Structure 1
Amino acid sequence: MIDLVLLGCGGNVPLPNRNLSSLFINYKGKKILIDCGEGTQVSMRMKNCGFKDVDLILLTHLHGDHIIGLIGLLSTMGNSGKTEDLTIVGPRGTIEAMKAIRVLVEYLPYTMCVIEDPKESFSLENHSVFKDLEISTIELDHSTECLGYSLYFKRTPKFNIEKAKSNNVPQYLWNKLQQTDSIFYDRKIYTSDMVLGYDRRGIKISFVTDTRFLLTIPGFIRESDLFVCEAMYGDDMDISKAVKNKHMTFTEAANLARLGEVKKLLLTHFSPSLENPHEYLENATRIFPDTIVGEDRLALSLNYED
């Protein structure tokens, strides 16, 4: 199971009831943030997310409403006793941005590793938990360098006792081979495929903000269990604003979800002028029925399929 909290669903300017962009993901007790806008720490505290075990932060782009919360968060993580490495991923310019932030946050008791503008899918192989996570990026169409993210949480195949017995695998190794690829034991190599059954589908989460509608996005988000998408404007009459400011409407986000054949759409990154996004929900649901309007601290859980 993967637990998520939409820490902030606002764009541009924080409001009394709406923090800026950030999504929290809890996977096997380790924490991931996508973006870290103003108010992120407040929502994390209110939802008891914890700061110490945040090990991965993915930045879509370097506009203030997506990264200003980092300055305080990095300090708080250190004050909470974090000593393990923190990995930060972002678009071109992220290395320079983090150097600037470190001027204000000079001492940290953990090492910060920055991955800038990754072009290929990648995994954090050196991390015991995140080795099962495959991260992909897509270049978006915004007023600055901007990345969309797709996170695929792999699922280990189920243990197959009949297969283990037929391959004469010692019972002593059954559990160990569910955790590692191969073991040399008693002058013989035993591999995990000797005890594991068929592959099982994992969980896919895609996060796309800020951008215009792109025909490359549906393939990128294909069959996501959850598609978190920007929806700056609820009213279709605001399409000219969306084009000018390189954002999207509820209708456009819903069309991406439909074309990408995702399971659920979560709308976020609302304009400060959009006081009640729920008023425009029908603009999305008439195209993609399983749509949720985001709210600060909205919590969701995603379960693996049987």
Structure 2
Amino acid sequence: MNFNINILGTGGTRPLHNRYLTSVLIEYHGESFLFDCGEATQMSLRKQKISWQKIKIICITHLHADHITGLLGIVMLMSQSGDTRREPLTIIGPVGIKKYLETNIELLRVHKNYEIIYKEIIINKTETILYEDKKKKIEYIKLKHSIDCIGYLFIEKNKPGKFNIQKAESLNIPKGPIRKRLQEGHEVILNGKKILPSEILGDPQKGLKVAYITDTAYFEELSTHIKDFNLVIIETTFKNDLKEEAKKKLHLTAKLAAKITKKAKVHQTGLIHFSERYTLNKDLCELLEEAQQEYPNGKIFLTKDGMRLNANQDKFIIK
């Protein structure tokens, strides 16, 4: 499947020599979608040999420095690269993202040879769909942080079921464009007779659903938005011994992150956005253990800089 997730960074607050700031890139059938863009995000793209020119949309969760300070660099990189960008770049984020970036572009006299389309989210509006095409959509959910903060849902639409060749042959459906239209879910007229996709195709294949959630405090309603998601990448800033600090700063502990995904019956949980105080492998293992104790039947893992997850049927495989 052409559906991959690249972990560009996993840290919070400040980049470390072995841990860049939290950022995730989803590759879907030749298009890329970047979620958050902290300092050194472009370094991660270079290290992982990912084309920044294929980035179609950048989604920013909130206007804190560790999530946006790499944005100007990416915009400049797209203009300065040898292969000139032709497609517009869409940047989605809370109100203020346009002012932040355009002010920097003007002050630094950045030349860009492509259009930037801004979509500022007015939280609490009824419409939650930010982008949609035939195969997928991106929605947002409101998180609970010290400033307006957004969680993103990347939802693959259901795909047509398996094509029944024997059934097609019994109905004398010729190979070529007619079969292709049926495979794509369209009805066709053959010799004056209407043929529906349901006559030829098996049950629809469920699309994969991925959530990116950072930064937020715990709140009960969050689980309802990610019910039965295949993968949730969720902030795990603190261990449980700092639960009061997490509550004060409106962040999650590993235990609370797992509580959210457990309640939502999430299939796979990727922990991310680790406090800079956790530099030892022992600390990260303790974060993982606390999450697994809360959700023992859940498939929980630590994300790592440079990690790649490839879609395989109804799950993601770590490469």
User: TM-score scaled by structure 2?
Assistant: 0.85
Percent same amino acid at aligned positions? 33
Q: Look up the match of 2:129.
A: 122
1:254 alignment partner, one of 258, 262, 272: 258
How far apart in 2 are the matches of 1:36 and 1:188? 53
User: In 2, distance between residues paired with 1:52 and 1:191?
Assistant: 40
In the alignment, structure 2 segments of 5+ residues that lack a partner are none
AA at the equivalent of 1:211: T
Letter of the aligned partner of 1:36 in structure 2?
C
Q: For 2:207, which of 178, 202, 211 is the aligned residue?
A: 202
Tell me what 1:58 maps to.
59
Which aligned pairs between 1:1-306 and structure 2 lie closer than 5 A?
Answer: 1=1, 2-78=3-79, 79=81, 80-103=83-106, 104=108, 106-117=110-121, 119=125, 120-122=127-129, 124-125=131-132, 130-157=133-160, 158-161=162-165, 171-172=175-176, 173-179=178-184, 181=186, 195-234=200-239, 236-276=240-280, 277-289=284-296, 290-305=299-314
Tell me if structure 1 keeps the 8 A contact 2:72–2:101: no
Q: Distance in 1 between matches of 2:84 and 2:183?
A: 32
The alignment partner of 1:26 has SS state of: strand
Structure 1 residues 74 and 182: alpha-carbon distance in aligned structure 2, compared to 1, 3 A threshold: farther
How far, CA to CA, are the matches of 2:172 and 2:88 in structure 1? 41
In structure 2, relative to structure 1, the CA distance for the partners of 1:110 and 1:159 (3 Å cut) is: farther
Counterpart Cα distance in 1 of 2:154 and 2:134: 12
The verdict on how the C-alpha distance between 1:169 and 1:86 changes in structure 2, with shifts beyond 3 A counting, is: farther
| Contact 2:21 2:67 survives alignment (8 Å) | yes
Alignment partners' CA distance in 2, 1:101 and 1:217:
34
The 2-side partners of 1:105 and 1:274 are apart by: 39
Deviation of the 1:300 alpha carbon: 1.5
Asked if 2 retains the 8 angstrom alpha-carbon contact of 1:71 and 1:105, the reply is: no
Which runs of no fewer than 5 residues in structure 1 stay unpaired? none
Superposed displacement of residue 194, structure 1? 6.3
Whole-angstrom distance in 2 between the partners of 1:123 and 1:161: 38
What TM-score do the two structures reach when normalised by structure 1? Answer: 0.88
Per-residue CA shift, 1:100-136, capped at 9, x if unaligned?
24324633222222222164343645xxxx5311222
